[in-house]
């Protein structure tokens, strides 16, 4: 049997305005990542479990129409600002900027037309032992209300047992930047969905950010000790998801930022580990970001039909989104999301898979 190429490009459909969307397939050491130019999106991620069965472990759609018609953020690049900005306003050097609210009174994931709703260019590809693709896009000054022309690239690189996603950005005017990937993971695979409440999760954090109405952080980080948010030791996601705690009520489950131990901005360090006991598949997330938003799929409500005709219901997937803290532009006590001309925004996250 002829081996499949390390990198392959395919058509993935046509946008309503006639522009074509490409799908890039990367293959290395038994893992395959499929990423598309619309939204610089991770459309599929195929990895073997302990029996050798290949599982696609990210939710999404089988065709382009599913992504265009319903904005669910499946596997998408999120920007300019991932997560929430309170009241859709922030100030830089005394000047106030307004970004349109699309989540009640707040701005979520870049607003109504974030990076996930744009077509990216393929800037570079590479084959060999570590196949990769790099997407690029220039966001003009004022797009979505954000200041500065932002030149951005997103790279996907496969190596033995892992997928690395890298983000880089530069600006010509002081601005705020917070980029991430919004993959919805289910380590049981997307062929016959079952919920992830039995997945076991550990998060390398002693503190998290309690939130108020609209999921905006209330203030300083709080200890996880003694709460349903303590994942310092591995625990099933469903064990405390219905705990009688105010923060569980606020998020309808988990939808909070954990403050990852260790200094951010250097080499990626371990942030979280999730394991599916049913098939032995384990994923480690390593990142150079200060926080990780853990979301337990609380708002999957059965209205979205994904791959293989599967209906997506509450708890059918989890998200681990490495990023700056929510609402950082309005919180000088949080790690800064500011980017100035001459500086480069960098974010590196690694998704490492094993099975036992």
Residue among 267, 283, 129 at smallest CA distance from 203: 283
Report the C-alpha gap between 180 and 83 in whole angstroms: 9
Q: Is residue 247 part of a domain?
A: yes
Q: Is residue 277 part of a domain?
A: yes
C-alpha distances in Å from residue 245, one per residue of 159, 219, 230: 41, 18, 13
Q: Could you report the per-residue pLDDT of 176-205, keeping only the tens digit for each?
A: 999 999 999 999 999 989 999 999 999 999
Q: How many domains does one find in the chain?
A: 1
Q: Is residue 216 part of a domain?
A: yes
Q: Is residue 250 part of a domain?
A: yes
**8 A C-beta contact, residue 256 and residue 237:** no
Burial 227-264 (b: 16+ CB within 10 A, else e): ebbbbeeeeebeebbeeeeebbebbebbbbbbbbeeeb
Q: Could you report the per-residue pLDDT of 283-329, keeping only the tens digit for each?
A: 999 999 999 999 999 999 999 899 999 999 999 999 999 999 999 99
Q: Kindly tell me the sign of the dihedral angle through the C-alpha atoms of 299, 199, 305, 69.
A: positive
Q: Is residue 272 part of a domain?
A: yes
Q: Model confidence at 146, in pLDDT bands (50, 70, 90)?
A: very high
* pTM beyond 0.95, yes or no: yes
Which pLDDT score is estimated for 280? 97
Q: Is residue 242 part of a domain?
A: yes
Q: Is residue 2 part of a domain?
A: no
CATH number at 17 reads: 2.70.98.10
Domain that holds residue 131: 7-352
Annotated catalytic residues are 182, 321
Q: Could you report the per-residue pLDDT of 60-110, keeping only the tens digit for each?
A: 999 999 999 999 999 999 999 999 999 999 999 999 999 999 999 999 999
Q: Could you report the per-residue pLDDT of 268-285, keeping only the tens digit for each?
A: 999 999 999 999 999 999
């Amino acid at each position: 049997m002829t081996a499949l190429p390390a990198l392959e490009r395919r058509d993935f459909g046509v946008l309503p305005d006639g522009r074509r969307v490409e799908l890039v397939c990367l293959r290395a050491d038994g893992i395959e990542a499929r990423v598309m130019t619309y939204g610089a999106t991770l459309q599929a991620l195929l990895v073997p479990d302990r029996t050798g069965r290949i599982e696609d472990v990210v939710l999404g759609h089988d065709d382009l129409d599913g992504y265009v018609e319903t904005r669910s953020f499946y596997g998408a690049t999120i920007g300019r600002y991932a997560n929430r900005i309170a009241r859709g306003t922030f100030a830089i050097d005394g000047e106030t900027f307004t970004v349109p609210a699309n989540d009640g009174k707040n701005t979520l994931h870049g607003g109504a037309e974030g990076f996930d709703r744009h077509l990216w260019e393929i800037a570079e590809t590479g084959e060999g032992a570590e196949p990769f693709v790099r997407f690029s896009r220039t966001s003009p000054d004022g797009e979505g209300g954000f200041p500065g022309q932002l030149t951005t690239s997103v790279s996907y690189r496969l190596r033995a047992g892992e997928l690395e996603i890298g983000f880089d950005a530069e600006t010509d005017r002081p601005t705020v930047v917070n980029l991430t990937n919004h993959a919805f993971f289910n380590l049981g695979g997307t062929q016959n969905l079952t919920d992830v409440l039995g997945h076991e999760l550990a998060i390398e954090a002693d503190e998290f950010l309690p939130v108020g109405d609209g999921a905006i952080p209330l203030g300083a980080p709080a200890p996880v000790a003694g709460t349903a948010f303590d994942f310092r030791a591995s625990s099933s996601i469903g064990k405390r998801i219905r705990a009688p705690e105010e923060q569980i009520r606020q998020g309808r489950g988990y939808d909070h930022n954990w403050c990852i131990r260790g200094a951010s901005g250097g080499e990626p360090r371990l942030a979280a580990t999730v394991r599916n006991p049913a098939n032995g598949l384990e994923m480690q997330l390593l990142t150079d970001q200060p926080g990780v938003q853990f979301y337990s799929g609380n708002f999957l409500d059965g209205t979205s039909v994904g791959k293989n005709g599967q209906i997506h219901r509450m708890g059918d997937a989890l998200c681990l989104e490495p990023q700056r803290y929510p609402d950082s532009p309005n919180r000088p006590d949080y790690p800064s999301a500011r980017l100035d001309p001459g500086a480069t925004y960098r974010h590196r996250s690694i998704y490492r898979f094993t099975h036992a």
